[in-house]
Structure 1
Amino acid sequence: MAYARHQSFYLRDKWISKGLKAIIESPRFFYEDDSPEEIGLGKNMVQSLRFWMLATEIIYEDKSNKQTEHYLTELGNLIYHKDRLLQKNDTVSILHYHLVRNKDDLATVFNWYFNNYKETITQRDILLKTFTTWVNNNDKSVSPKSLKRDIDCLVQLYTKKSEENDPEDFIFSPFTKLNLIKEEQSEEGYGNVRKVTPELNDIGLVSLFYVLLKYGEENEVNLVSLDEILNEDFLWGKVFNLSRNRIIEILNKLTNHSKFSLQYVRTNNLDNVRLPNISSFEYLSYEYGFSLDRVTV
């Protein structure tokens, strides 16, 4: 488990684009003395960017040459060539999914909040207390300051929007377009943090299909039940706060995909979907019009 590796900075607009370009130009970018000047960020922000890129699985570390270097993953290459400014909601949804997966144990708080935390509405102080209790029960003692930074960063990542009256505002988070979390004042004056069920256009159909295919790959199954999609870690109900009715609505759309449609299967009185025979990345490449074979970096 890992805490506060983001250096207290949530992911800013344009950071991903800058980071991908920097890594292509120099695999040792994050260890170069002039990297802050090269990318136009402070030293701690550069280290924060390294965390976000690793945690969303768009770069990976290679230590085979007795020094650490970073390279773009397949997903990182696709995003660099097809949507490095994160203009598509699908792209941001996919980054959100990989962050929540916490595959390399880099982003515990995001995994915990979306997969483990049950409350829909809470306040930051209650969120912090609950997270602290969970960490103390599951891990070694962690600095309270680190845990507070994690909770603050979690909320900011999904709620820090651009200032409408300031066209030069670049400190907003691209994750706000997903509309997964809202922070708002209650009638009693409390600052509520609320999980939101987003509209389909907020998160995108392509990203949802990708997540479903990823689940099938990693669990070596081609049949997934509606209950799994709703309740299992790293699937739609938890990762995207989706209700059963919204999931059914989306599945109906995916059964009509022009090339890689899902199939409904009724087995033992359970609603299941049969996944098409294609890998998650092959599917994503098809939707984005991307060919890794033709990419030179």
Structure 2
Amino acid sequence: MSQTKSSFRYSGHETFVCRYAWLPKAVTHLSDGRNAKLFSDEDDAMVRLGVGKNMVRSIRFWAETAGVIESLGDSKGYAVSPFGRDLLGHDGYDQYLEHPATLWLLHWKIATNPTGPIYQWVQMLNHWHRAEFTEAEAFGFLKKNLPAKSQSLSDRTNEDGLRVFINSYIPTRGRKGEVAEDNLDSPFVELGLLRRSGERTDIRTGQRELIFSFAVEEKPSISPALFAYCLNDFWQNEHANEQTISFGAVAVGEGSPGQVFKLPEAAVRHYLDQIKQTTNGALAFQESATLQQVTRSGKADAFDFLENIYVSD
């Protein structure tokens, strides 16, 4: 997933953050195989899903981005993906998003979608390297880094995408400081990945701006098994033809667990020290005075990384 990639998605969420019920709802309504056209007939979907037309489109966007549904192509509609079935299906591991690992897992899937990456997610999680940012600073950064083929993207669309990114991880507040109702239902707020860290005055406009910062710290709710799943996923997305990858790639590479979860290098090393035991040898960390790398054995193809998250808890 390169920073210069031109296949980014910039819209489709209809400015709505993903909500708790949406992904399970999409999987449930597509599970019997008879409703493949659910998202094609928006009027029917409004009735079935109990939401407005824009929300129907947003549910489809988030469910597809999170990898729980997939397009059948040729206008055939959508179906539940194997990942969506195993995670959120009737007999899935966590149908109602109750396990602490599930929100991290869905955050991972959204942030690293290999076929339709969201521009603001990729840029802010992987390429913003300063400790803090304001909305204006982040917007300037996003505008500056647009791929050549996307230079005509409107400021409004870019700004909307940035606000959806921020509001996905931190609740908005009204004038009196109340949390806005629309964001109480954003599951990723629980992750604590993004924080308000103060305010400052914009020297150009004189207006007060909120300051945000990523929580770069150990995250106990990310289990060794979850880290292993995501590392294997990263391997398949970014290093599919390689038998080894470096510690640096795992810790700070674009789309890596270290970057997407905002983990300090010490925490990444801690997970890697356990990874051979966690995966029964499918993955292993080798470290010496001159070498720090992870290896992937033939066992990885048969190892059920997703099941391991939920059975090892």
Question: Which has more helix, going by share of residues?
Answer: 1
| Partner Cα distance (1:126, 1:158) in 2 | 18
- Per-residue deviation at 1:169? 8.4
User: Does residue 13 of the first structure (1) align with residue 20 of the second (2)?
Assistant: yes
Secondary structure, counterpart of 2:93 in structure 1: helix
Q: Deviations over 1:178-209 (max 9, x none)?
A: 22111242477641111112433233332210
User: Does residue 31 of the first structure (1) align with residue 52 of the second (2)?
Assistant: no
- Per-residue deviation at 1:237? 2.1
- Per-residue deviation at 1:27? 1.2
Distance 1:215 1:169, change over 3 A: closer
Secondary structure, counterpart of 1:192 in structure 2: strand
Q: Identify the range of structure 1 (23-32 vs 45-54) with the bigger mean alpha-carbon deviation.
A: 23-32
Q: Output the TM-score relative to the length of structure 1.
A: 0.85
Counterpart for residue 178 of structure 1 = 191
Q: Output the TM-score relative to the length of structure 2.
A: 0.81
Query: Could you tell me which amino acid in structure 2 is paired with residue 10 of structure 1?
Result: V
Distance 1:258 1:226, change over 3 A: closer
> Pairwise mapping of residues 1-297 of structure 1 onto structure 2 (< 5 A)?
1-25=8-32, 26-32=35-41, 33-64=43-74, 67-80=75-88, 81-135=92-146, 137=148, 139-160=150-171, 171-186=184-199, 190-218=209-237, 219=239, 220-257=241-278, 259-260=280-281, 262-266=283-287, 269-276=290-297, 277-279=299-301, 282-288=304-310
Q: Deviations over 1:146-194 (max 9, x none)?
A: 11110100001111389xx99x988421112222111242477641111
* Same amino acid, percent of matched pairs: 19
Structure 2: unaligned runs, 5 residues or longer:
1-7, 202-207
Q: Pairwise CA RMSD of aligned residues?
A: 2.7
Secondary structure, counterpart of 2:292 in structure 1: strand
| Partner Cα distance (2:39, 2:159) in 1 | 26
Distance 1:235 1:280, change over 3 A: farther
Query: Could you tell me which amino acid in structure 2 is paired with residue 73 of structure 1?
Result: S
**How many residue pairs are counted as aligned between the two chains?**
284
Distance 1:103 1:273, change over 3 A: closer
Secondary structure, counterpart of 1:274 in structure 2: strand
Distance 1:19 1:280, change over 3 A: farther
Does structure 2 retain, via aligned residues, the 8 Å contact 1:23–1:72?
A: yes
| Partner Cα distance (1:97, 1:229) in 2 | 14
Does structure 2 retain, via aligned residues, the 8 Å contact 1:214–1:279?
A: no
Structure 1: unaligned runs, 5 residues or longer:
290-297
